[in-house]
Amino acid sequence: MTIYADSLGFLFSQAELINKTGLQIDPKIRLDLCHITAAPPFKTSVAEIEEECRFIHKVLEDQGVVVVRNRKDLARDNLKVVLGLQHPPLDATVTDLQRLRSLGVLFCTLAYEGENPFGGGFATPDISLSVGGKKFLRNLAEAYMILDLSHAGHQTARDTLAEILNYCIPIGVVATHTGAYSVFNHLRNLPDDILQGIKYFQGFVGVTTCTFLNHASDNSLQPFCAHIRHVVGVIGSQFVTIGSDGVYKTLKVNEDQERFELMKNLIDPRGNFHARYPDQPFSLNMAYRMKRIHIELQEQWTKRIVERLLGENFFNYVAAHI
């Protein structure tokens, strides 16, 4: 049976998460494993992030969702999640990171949008990895966390890959949700040399279904397919996942627009994301969105490659690093 695993998705709309209301998983969901954000990216302190983690733990566990902490958890039949941070905890010590790791936080970024004490986010592509960033990288490794380059600025990402290589830092490196800069030159997307660097370290690249990251105007699934084709061509199907950045719910149009406007105002006040509505193809507005992607991909790829993309690659990576 095909595994459906999303390397970055949402079980609730972002509006529900921020308002902490309506946090009910859609009963029609068809998903085996999902990497979800443990805290909003504007929560940047350890105390704030830990509070959010404990809150989302309770919400998920009350609905029978397994927060994966070990391989035994991965073997359970329930919907399973791993947690991640799209903005790093700026005040974290190694002990803090280890505590977050014990709460199920597996993935962590260096930066989100702009420059921070560790380096550059995507909107500052020429900022280098800082001395503080090099230390944080080693702290992540000591805490057995995986580095996520999805939101990193291009120079910070290149510096990070070089730092890991030159100093043999024992850390996994991935991009859970991004696109190919060669296909569409949005700064949130990664150039081919960075994609190849992630492959070198046996990581994966999750391709997003987010419309404004995939194309300047086309809101269909076709741009996503173009990014998939390119990334598979650059690094091979064994290293590619789907990191949709989408919500596994059927949202009414007014609810969806409310979610979008809330997120745009909170997370993109400077307009660096160039976000537009719809931010996800309307054809994916459903709890079983991965099934819809399955139908699209099976028309273009062999069964074996489709199985890798839809979940096998991500599931196996988590199993090897949990």
Q: What is the pLDDT of residues 31-59, one digit of tens each?
A: 999 999 999 999 999 999 999 999 999 99
For residue 269, with 0-12 CB atoms within 10 Å meaning exposed, 13-18 middle and 19 or more buried, which class applies?
Answer: exposed
| 168-202 tens-digit pLDDT | 999 999 999 999 999 999 999 999 999 999 999 99
Distance CA 3, CA 309 (A): 10
Does residue 1 surpass a pLDDT of 90?
no
Bin 234: left if φ > 0, else alpha if -120 < ψ < 50, else beta: alpha
Confidence at residue 266, expressed as pLDDT on a 0 to 100 scale: 84
Domain at 286, CATH number:
3.20.20.140
Q: Would you state the pLDDT for residue 256?
A: 85
**What is the count of structural domains for the chain?**
1
Do you find a cis peptide bond into 278, omega within 30 degrees of 0?
Answer: yes
Query: What average pLDDT does this structure show over 205-232?
Result: 99
pLDDT of amino acid 225: 99
Domain that holds residue 179: 5-321
pLDDT at 258: 80
Beta carbons of 201 and 238 less than 8 angstroms apart: no
